[in-house]
Amino acid sequence: MTTAAVPILEADGMSVRYGPQWILRDVSFRVEAGECLGLVGPSGTGKSALLRHLLALEQTAGGHLSLFGRRIDGPDDPVLHLLRRRIGILFQGGALFSALDVLENVALPPRAMHLPTDWANAMARVALSEAGLDPIVTGHKKPAELSGGMATRAALARAIVLGPELLVLDEPTQGLDPPVARAFVTALRELRHRSSSTVLLVTHDLETLRALADRIAVLGEGKLLTIGTPDEVTRYDHPVVHDYFQGWRTLA
Ligand SMILES: Nc1ncnc2c1ncn2[C@@H]1O[C@H](COP(=O)(O)OP(=O)(O)O)[C@@H](O)[C@H]1O
Ligand SMILES: [Mg+2]
């Protein structure tokens, strides 16, 4: 990685505001090609809201966003139509469509690109296998028939079905039992190994963070408190950061 490389994502002084309420101010950071950047912070600090802004799903209240080296003017920027195909998103809670079966859910992104159904379904089967699900066993189940771990894998399959250069994961292990969460993290590590994609990972779970993140950004008090390697960030002298990473060193 050289400093001259174009970052996959760059936030420059971005702010998040809903009506009169400022959630985050002046957030600047980059996601470099090939890295896994962990985004953490106490519940309600604005991690999910920031992700929506970083994906240009919502209008920033200030600053600039670039994706793949292209400056984005806002949610209506016509270039987004093409750039979004290069980004896979696993939303908090999975967000599978309950009326569709698993295969149909995973086939949605290629269908949205007007690929033929057979082709989209074939891509969906590959993605399900990559996410650790047997397409024959799970493809025709409805989301409600899946365990938490399987639903998360199905959501991962949908996020990777187009072979994204940037994979965005919002609390992927939330609500999973520790062994299931661990198995999911292992699957993610293997996936990264195979595809060398760039990952932006929001998580509460220190174990997940420790297993995956090359760098960590910490949100708190309405701003980006610090960003750096796990070693740098966990030693950063700030009460919120200190509280957050208590227990980090005792992890295996
Ligand atoms: N669409 C919205 N409209 C108004 N307020 C919102 C909206 N989305 C999030 N918020 C507020 O922004 C804050 C951060 O929420 P969120 O990003 O979900 O936090 P986190 O993901 O860090 O737990 C919360 O106070 C939440 O109520
Ligand atoms: Mg959230």
Q: What is the pLDDT of residues 137-181, one digit of tens each?
A: 999 999 999 988 899 999 999 999 999 999 999 999 988 888 888
Q: Which residues contact 112 (CB under 8 A, 6 or more apart)?
A: none
Report the pLDDT value the prediction gives residue 215, as an integer from 0 to 100: 97
Q: What is the C-alpha separation between 14 and 199, in angstroms, rounded?
A: 20
Which atom belonging to ligand 1 lies closest to the Cα atom of 43? 23
Closest CA to 14 of 79, 59, 47: 59
Q: Which ligand lies nearest the alpha carbon of 46?
A: 1
Name the residue at shortest CA distance from atom 14 of ligand 1: 46
pLDDT digits (tens, 9 = 90+) for 128-139: 999 999 999 999
| Statement: residue 3 has pLDDT above 80 | no
DSSP 159: H
pLDDT in tens, 183-225: 899 989 988 888 878 999 999 888 889 899 999 999 999 999 9
How do residues 8-40 score in pLDDT, each as one tens digit? 999 999 999 999 999 999 999 999 999 999 999
> How far, in Å, CA of 175 to CA of 194, rounded?
27
Q: At 135, give phi and psi (nearest 5°).
A: -60, -30
What's the pLDDT score for residue 252? 55
Relative to the alpha carbon of 42, which ligand is closest?
Answer: 1
Residue ranges with strand state E in the chain: 9-18, 21-31, 36-40, 64-67, 70-72, 87-90, 166-170, 198-202, 215-220, 223-228
Looking at all shown ligands, the one closest to residue 172's CA atom is: 2
How far is it, in rounded angstroms, from Cα 245 to Cα 224?
A: 16
Q: What is the mean pLDDT of residues 47-73?
A: 94
**Which protein residues touch ligand 1 with a CB less than 6 Å away?**
18, 23, 41, 43-49
* Distance from Cα 64 to the centre of ligand 1, integer Å: 20
Ligand 1 centroid, distance to 124 Cα (angstroms)? 32
Q: Domain 9-95+166-244 sits in which CATH superfamily?
A: P-loop containing nucleotide triphosphate hydrolases (3.40.50.300)
- Bridge partners for 201 per DSSP: 38, 169
Average pLDDT of span 66-95: 90
CA distances from 184 to 75, 180, 212 (A): 32, 6, 11
- What is the residue with the minimal CA distance to atom 6 of ligand 1? 18
- The domain locations on the chain are 9-95+166-244
Are 85 and 123 in contact, with CB atoms under 8 Å apart?
no
Query: What proportion of the chain, given as a percentage, has pLDDT over 90?
Result: 71
